[in-house]
Chains A and B, each alone.
Chain A
């Protein structure tokens, strides 16, 4: 059982709500990842999604687009990100996911990627432009690896597709909170809580909710109806602010610690 699945099996006992944070590999600097991962981990992140930058990020809003662009300019690549993960694993055991668009992964060679990611200490993949039906063509590359792909659902997902997504996902289901691109928003999207409750009855895997979550109070409200939240653009924005202020992740750490604090306050006896 990989680190992530182990984490979920523990929290499903305790009822703790999880905080996942997204970062872009190679942002703000080419070699930021190891230091940033330990800062986020210390501040309260339970697992981290490492974004692999891509030239054409169709599901991302301006914040992650520009982080992605800068990371590419910094010379980041999938291969270099895996090297940095190997380095991180010498000192840090937080679950790490690779999140990225399909083309760089396909071009790398999926079989080789799965092998190298597993060696490096990656605990799974999120590929926002790879759907379960198309994934079947590539499933063989994952063989009997300990790590797989975590699929997404959104509020407009046809309900009869949900069992297939639940069956094929690896450790959890990534619930997109809004129809839209990534990007920090305010407030809890209308209808999302009812959708999460509906999912609760339909799926066996843990549900993590992402897209648009930036504020601790919203995170807590949403987490009350699922297993935890994913925060991406708000983290990248905090990193921008830290950089502008010449600080060493001070604002970012505070955001993560405030988010985690809010999640600790959620006591709903879920499961």
Chain B
């Protein structure tokens, strides 16, 4: 298949090669078809495009910076590293790019009620934010377990006027929040818009989320060309569902000289069974409306994913990533919880940037790439979000001896 064809995907049934489709209850067919039509019209409507561009600029603060990470590059001793600063977006992550696009579609379709799922809370906050901005009712489904882990984001959503509904079914995490959002959608399909947070779900969601997020890659490509008068040699992004990676990779797919790496969460290790590496260790199946790689047991039951990063803690992955894996256009690797935590710490100390744990996975992989790259090469990392949200979750893990040392010092001084 030529690169050109790869860019035209998905096909009319919503397949990227063998992956994607619409694995949905019949009741939702009308709704996804309505969305498809609305999106096709919006794409050729310059007013829609202008409004989106203007919101991203004046509300979210785009374009985000491309920052040269000089001290990190020097420390690692390999290629020169650049960071695409999605952490500088309004609400602190790339999630807002997609939320802005979808809320404009929802308004265009005359929907009065927005629903969304969230794991770490970043997509929930982004959705609550745009819903407030457009005066639409908003309900966010969140696993009870994640509500406990991400109390700050729950309060942010509530402050923005969103109702956060705890999900108590299954593993009580992101996967179950999506199940519950789909059940709501099935029930209230007439007036409700499901604002999906990643390149997952039934067609056309993987395509339109990719398109809304591809502002990341388009900006990066232009910024890099302007500064370096060439393309980067490597582009690296973390992959849970895969929306920041898809948005970063998509505009580079035609550039055969650019090597791309998606980094999954290896959790406590790929062989531990406690990971979220659907592409590296999963198998074919259907979850949440699409055929893709996913984590499942011998009976085809979906398994729980494990990652220190709530945003990567998902047992499936966007269908286009599955296609890019099979075609070999993108290479998929994984890093462990410990490696991600180390990278988070390193980037904070060397560059003064505290990355989200998700983004720290991409940084961790780049740390491994250092000795395979030369000084004249360049790497762009998609820094998908900022790490403030993770501080509570990691404080004890990242600085395990902090309290002990403090109390020891206290004793010593007495």
A binding-site residues for B, Cβ under 8 Å = 54-61, 65, 69, 72, 77-79, 101-108, 128-131, 133-134, 137, 151-154, 156-158, 161, 176, 179-181
Contact = CB atoms under 8 A, between A and B. Distances in A.
B296 interface: yes
B301 A72 contact: yes
A122 B300 CA distance: 20
Contacts of B183: 58-61, 181
Given A103-B296, A129-B23, A58 B187 contact: no
Q: Which 8 A-B pairs have the closest CB atoms?
A: A107-B300, A104-B300, A55-B301, A152-B26, A180-B187, A77-B299, A59-B25, A58-B182
Interface string B156-192: 0000000000000110000110010011001101100
B13 A156 contact: no
A213 B261 CA distance: 51
A107 B189 contact: no
A130 B27 contact: no
Contact of B286 (A77, A129, A153, A176): A129
A117 B336 CA distance: 42
A118 to B, nearest CB: 20
A131 B285 contact: no
Contact of A58 (B25, B283, B300): B25
Given A103-B285, A158-B30, A180-B187, A134 B302 contact: no
A103 B286 contact: yes
Given A58-B25, A104-B301, A106-B300, A133 B179 contact: no
Contacts of A69: 169-170
A179 B187 contact: yes
Best-surrounded residue of A55, A137, A151, A154 (most CB of chain B within 10 A):
A55
B18 to A, nearest CB: 9
Interface string B318-360: 0000000000000000000000000000000000000000000
Classify the secondary structure of A's interface with B.
loop
Contact of B25 (A55, A78, A128): A128
Contacts of B285: 103, 106-107
Contacts of B306: none
Given A131-B23, A154-B26, 13 more contacts: A56-B288, A58-B288, A59-B27, A59-B186, A103-B286, A103-B302, A129-B25, A130-B23, A134-B13, A154-B25, A158-B33, A179-B186, A179-B187
B34 to A, nearest CB: 10
B40 interface: no
24 contacts: A54-B300, A54-B301, A56-B179, A103-B285, A103-B296, A103-B302, A104-B300, A106-B284, A107-B285, A108-B300, A128-B25, A131-B29, A133-B13, A134-B22, A137-B21, A154-B26, A156-B189, A179-B187, A179-B190, A180-B27, A180-B186, A181-B183, A181-B186, A181-B187
Contact of A105 (B169, B296, B300, B302): B300
Contacts of A104: 299-301
Nearest to A54: B301
B294 to A, nearest CB: 8
A25 to B, nearest CB: 12
Contact of A156 (B21, B27, B289): B27
Contacts of A61: 183
A157 B29 contact: yes
B26 A56 contact: no
B95 to A, nearest CB: 23
A193 B208 CA distance: 37
Nearest to B301: A55
B287 interface: yes
Contacts of A161: 29
B69 interface: no
B299 A107 contact: yes
B296 A107 contact: yes
